[in-house]
Amino acid sequence: MKPQVEIDLLIEFGAFFKEYEIGETIFCEDDLARFYYQIVEGGVKMININEDGKEYIQGYFCEGQSFGEPPLIIEEKYPATAVALKKTKIIKISKINFFSLLEQFPVIQSDFLKLLARRIYNKANTSKDIINQKPEFRIIAFLDTCKTRQEKEQIKYTRQEIANFTGLRVETVIRALSKMKQKKKVEIINHKIYY
């Protein structure tokens, strides 16, 4: 996947690399944003954990994608925690260097404008789907955002992950999925979900 910003350009702006093990925290909720982060290899999830220990997944990020930019841009604290999903290599540059990068390359600034616009668009859609709807609707909405192609494809998320995305419990997801199987809204073969 094409990186958000070219690696070589980031290096010119004083970038450095860092490796994270699976499950390792990259930054924490309420930390002040100090760096621009971009994934070179691996994957990252942004999560909130409430006082009952329940996890809510704000989003997944993969190779080439940047994350945690909004708080950096407005000089705020992170609203969520970033955790490596597997062994992950990150490239990062300091806030000040990120700002001069944006200033010197209007095209890149414009790319970020589009990126943030798309993020808001997605968040508006997911929050509308999640807030009012029944479990089945929430899951369908989530599956729709997963889909990369038109044809039926296998969903690569566990039921627990679907639960954490939709704000439901695992058991509820499982029961909703079996109902959806009966209604032919999804196929389930050997525990794998096809949609």
Angle at 97 between CA 93 and CA 100, to 5 degrees: 140
Listed ranges 9-17, 108-116, 148-156, 172-180: which one lies at the site for its own copies (CB under 8 A): 108-116
User: What residues does 17 pair with on adjacent strands?
Assistant: 91
- Answer yes or no whether residue 104 interacts with DNA by CB under 7 A: no
Q: Establish if 3 lies at the interface with its own copies (CB under 8 A).
A: no
Contacts with its own copies in 17-76 (CB under 8 A)?
48, 50, 52, 54, 56, 58, 69-74, 76
Nearest partner of 122 among 145, 146, 106, 155, judged by Cα? 145
| In the complex, least distance from residue 195 CB atom to its own copies, rounded to whole angstroms | 21
Residue whose CB is less far from its own copies, 11 or 115: 115
Strand extents, DSSP E, the chain: 16-20, 25-27, 35-41, 43-49, 55-62, 66-67, 81-84, 88-94, 187-189, 192-194
E strand residue ranges, 14-54: 16-20, 25-27, 35-41, 43-49
Q: Determine, following the binding rule CB under 8 A, whether residue 126 of this chain makes contact with its own copies.
A: yes
Which of DNA, its own copies, none does residue 23 bind (CB under 5 to 8 Å by kind)? none
The yes or no reply on residue 97 touching its own copies (CB under 8 A) is no
Residue 188, contacted partner among DNA, its own copies, none, CB below 5-8 A by kind: DNA
Asked if 154 is part of the footprint of DNA (rule: CB under 7 A), the reply reads no
CA distance 139 to 89: 31
Give Cα 118 distance to the centre of its chain. 13
Q: How far is the CB of 156 from DNA (least distance, A)?
A: 10
Partner that binds at residue 172, options its own copies, DNA, none, CB closer than 5 to 8 Å by kind: DNA
* Tokens read off for 18: 């860092």
| In the complex, minimum distance from the CB of residue 20 to its own copies, in angstroms, rounded to a whole number | 21
